[in-house]
Amino acid sequence: MECADQKRCQELAKSSSFYRRIYSEVEEIGWEHLVRFGEDLRLLSFRVKDKKGRVHILQITLDGTYPNHPPSLSADVPHLFSLKWSINSRLKDVIQQFQKHLEKLQDFWNLMDDIDHSLLVSDLRYPQRALSHRQLNISNDSYIILSIDANDPISLPDCRFLGSDSGVERLRAMWRKNCKRWMRDKPFSENLAHMLDIQLHGPSSIQQTDPQTECGICYAQYLPIDDELGDKSGSGTDCTCENNSCSRAFHSVCLGDWLRSITTTRQSFDVLFGNCPYCSDPIAVKMNTRK
């Protein structure tokens, strides 16, 4: 969080006990972990890294009775945890409980990443961390939709087959016949190949390089149609964080505006140098010339 925003929070803290409390609790967590906040400090978004370096955004919404009532939580995870809360709880307790929840999901995300990197996933959009299903291309006319149990990812997944009647019927028959052959200590792709008695396709070249398409700042895939944006009008994301554990995509326009608002950003000629708003790794963007 940039110094200017911290100063705004500090000014708010002078106006009421609620703002003073929130300011104090954010300081306990660290301003560097605060991604954004609402004007009234009732909506806070924090950046949290898991053990694998994956970046997660936890959104916390407070009501007017805080801390008498627990905050509402939102995050890109398959399911949220049951928040333990008391009148003496603070925001740092929420972050700590979220971190423990992320630890429990590591095996699930490791498996989903392995599927994305080793098998032919037919939906090439950047997968969200909350999704627990994948659609795989089995053959020219057959697909399988796998639903992975986030709490027990190495167990036999639920499945649904799509495609021609003959192809689907054959796959269903093989699945029923071999369902007991699933072995928890074997790699997922090996288990699946044995179940279906086929050779699975590896990822396509497009899948291997497909970037995240939603901007991490404006949350839109495309910029609006606006003459002031010049040749960037209506364009998609064109800048990506080089940290492989983050790989967050941005519109260069949005990232440039965000970096310009931060006092630590450096400029050399027409390039801005700063830090990714999600993982804090170094990031650079060429400034856009607007009309």
**Of the spans 14-18, 28-32, 103-107, 256-260, which averages the highest pLDDT?**
103-107
> What's residue 210's pLDDT?
52
Decide if 37 contacts 45 (C-beta within 8 A). yes
> What's residue 12's pLDDT?
59
> What's residue 5's pLDDT?
56
- Give percent above pLDDT 70 in the chain: 89
Q: What's the average model confidence in pLDDT over 213-234?
A: 80
Of 45 and 123, more confident: 45
> What's residue 289's pLDDT?
61
> Residues 54-73: pLDDT tens digits?
878 899 999 989 999 999 99
The pLDDT-based confidence of 107 (bands split at 50, 70, 90) is very high
> What's residue 26's pLDDT?
93
